[in-house]
Structure 1
């Protein structure tokens, strides 16, 4: 038997959004460094986020589907596509048996988790949000371990969980606690991110909110604004028309660097964004996605808000005036901004990837030291 097959194998299953894929990437980085082999199973949407995964991660697209999209004909075919994916996963597991299977949520994780359950393989899920997604809610009672990124997480009754925190990518960990330059009469930066796909409401509200700031602040500002493709041109034009120094893109591949240089982050409160903001340690204005399942983005933001590290503005109350007032409250108060940055770092879990990796190793029978905080959900 070759060395390749003597090394332990982790199979990760993750859905097609950055919120699921970034924690999976962080775990892959950690376990590859510890000598594991790592495979990722996802769908075509998830494959878009695999460019940042470390070399050595094996990527496999697997059949899956959801009832949440498409017409009647598409919905009728969902069980067959999921069933096909489960068979595909089982055949793959028979050829190359995983030591542990970890699901990160999203319907593309169904085939691998179902196959692991049928084959009685060690398996666990990691739930990033304060309210679990539908897939993780279903599998919470069907796995050996449930790990949570947000604490507390509203899990099904009777489910015990381990609070690992949300793993952040190596590029974020490298900038953990990066020195914060408080706002002042010198060049400053605002980072605007709306999750992995941008957010239209932020593209509608943030540019005029920034334009309404006092000139003594506005003259020092540079803005990095993530906007959807369909919004990018008008957002760029607005900043240009109002002589605001701004860079607008649908996706920034250097978010950790931009965040560490920013005096303020304006963001949705997806779990990965919240984790990045807290680990790097930056003041933030958070606008939870109003129709997120179970209102989980409001729950995700709670820790930063309670710590005094963030201002949360519900979509129902988001106006140009409210956003501009929040921005001004932070950029005109250097001492308060510094307090927010330090408060964010205090509640961060920069070692979440290591704690999650320790759970994986223990579940696979490798018995590492456990440092994760255990709790009853």
Structure 2
């Protein structure tokens, strides 16, 4: 089998957390001469703008049991079954070399078809706890790649730590020199993701207002906030005479990360990966409603290494957050140690590690 004849099917669900690492792997495999097909549903297809035009996008019939009302939940098994049959027939015809699933219900047809047709397959789990679909297939695939380490796996199952692939814009800022805090303008970046970010809109401005005036005077704040929270966050900072950029979305997060003295963030897998690849001190506030509390698991390795402080939502208040911010921004040596600890966990070559596993599976399948 020559590289130009090899065919990879990537299956990913319809969220950025699944699609971004899938996109990174697709880019690497195309550069290595592989044909790549993305298998997703209509929701996931909305995330394909960033994929190379060389990637064939295939929409499959899938469904989730979490949305769609009673009728949608009743029909879900039939839609999934139809997707599996269709994917299996196509896989028998095409005979792909490897299938990789990145989680989410839209991966079920491709992974089930790979199991039926005995096609070499693996899954990549971004979080520190397996998602529902990855948990279902963990014992039915040839390999489990883990983006977060450690990842809680079923007893007797051993994963391979690859890290979570990050965007090219993040790689361009990898290991950017860190300027510790001091008596000069300091950048504080607040990013929260779309789910549950309201608590950061509530807590962060109030916490910063409690900081000593001398520390506040040096802060330049950039905070992402939900559209419905935007104006009140702006007003809160303005009322306290603080300089702040507040937007619903920053398109230049990698640059802002590289310039930050401190990051306050949720603990989504992609956010943690970005923070470690660039190497910045962080205060992580896991989303309490995350399935199986996987955001706490995502944060645990970085906290254990000394690169971040974790505050649970239950413990979060303006006072506890202000104390954590002040401790980091008034101790330059501690902040610098945190930055280096975060960087020590970064895996900028995560996509290449995944690609190597794909090629190993292909060789074993061809043997």
State if a TM-score over 0.5 links the two structures.
yes
Question: 1:279, CA displacement in angstroms?
Answer: 1.0
TM-score calculated relative to the size of structure 1: 0.90
Alignment of 1:1-377 (within 5 A): 6-94=4-92, 96-195=94-193, 197=195, 199-365=197-363
Cα distance per residue 1:4-34 (max 9 Å; x no partner): x944222111122222222212212222222
> Are the equivalent residues in 1 in contact too, given 2:84–2:109 (CA < 8 A)?
yes
Question: 1:115, CA displacement in angstroms?
Answer: 1.7
Q: Check 1:274–1:121 CA distance in 2 against 1; reply closer, same or farther (3 A cut).
A: same
Per mean C-alpha deviation after superposition, the further-off stretch among 322-331 and 5-14 is 5-14
Q: Check 1:47–1:189 CA distance in 2 against 1; reply closer, same or farther (3 A cut).
A: farther
Question: 1:92, CA displacement in angstroms?
Answer: 4.4
TM-score calculated relative to the size of structure 2: 0.92
> Are the equivalent residues in 2 in contact too, given 1:151–1:163 (CA < 8 A)?
yes
Q: Check 1:29–1:320 CA distance in 2 against 1; reply closer, same or farther (3 A cut).
A: same
Per mean C-alpha deviation after superposition, the further-off stretch among 223-232 and 136-145 is 223-232
Does the residue aligned with 1:27 lie in a helix, a strand or coil? helix
Q: Check 1:27–1:221 CA distance in 2 against 1; reply closer, same or farther (3 A cut).
A: same
Q: What is the aligned residue count?
A: 364
Does the residue aligned with 2:306 lie in a helix, a strand or coil? coil
How far apart in 2 are the matches of 1:254 and 1:198?
22
Question: 1:157, CA displacement in angstroms?
Answer: 2.0
Q: Check 1:248–1:55 CA distance in 2 against 1; reply closer, same or farther (3 A cut).
A: farther
RMSD: 2.2
How far apart in 2 are the matches of 1:237 and 1:94?
60
Cα distance per residue 1:226-257 (max 9 Å; x no partner): 22233223223333343332222333232211
Q: Check 1:205–1:350 CA distance in 2 against 1; reply closer, same or farther (3 A cut).
A: same
> Are the equivalent residues in 1 in contact too, given 2:102–2:123 (CA < 8 A)?
yes
**What 5-or-longer segments of structure 2 have no aligned partner?**
none
> Are the equivalent residues in 2 in contact too, given 1:267–1:287 (CA < 8 A)?
yes
Cα distance per residue 1:300-339 (max 9 Å; x no partner): 1111111111010011001111111111111111111101
Cα distance per residue 1:114-138 (max 9 Å; x no partner): 1222222111101111211111011
Cα distance per residue 1:333-366 (max 9 Å; x no partner): 1111101000111122222111111000111128
**What 5-or-longer segments of structure 1 have no aligned partner?**
368-377
> Are the equivalent residues in 2 in contact too, given 1:194–1:202 (CA < 8 A)?
yes
> Are the equivalent residues in 1 in contact too, given 2:104–2:133 (CA < 8 A)?
yes
Cα distance per residue 1:23-64 (max 9 Å; x no partner): 212212222222222222223433343333344333333221
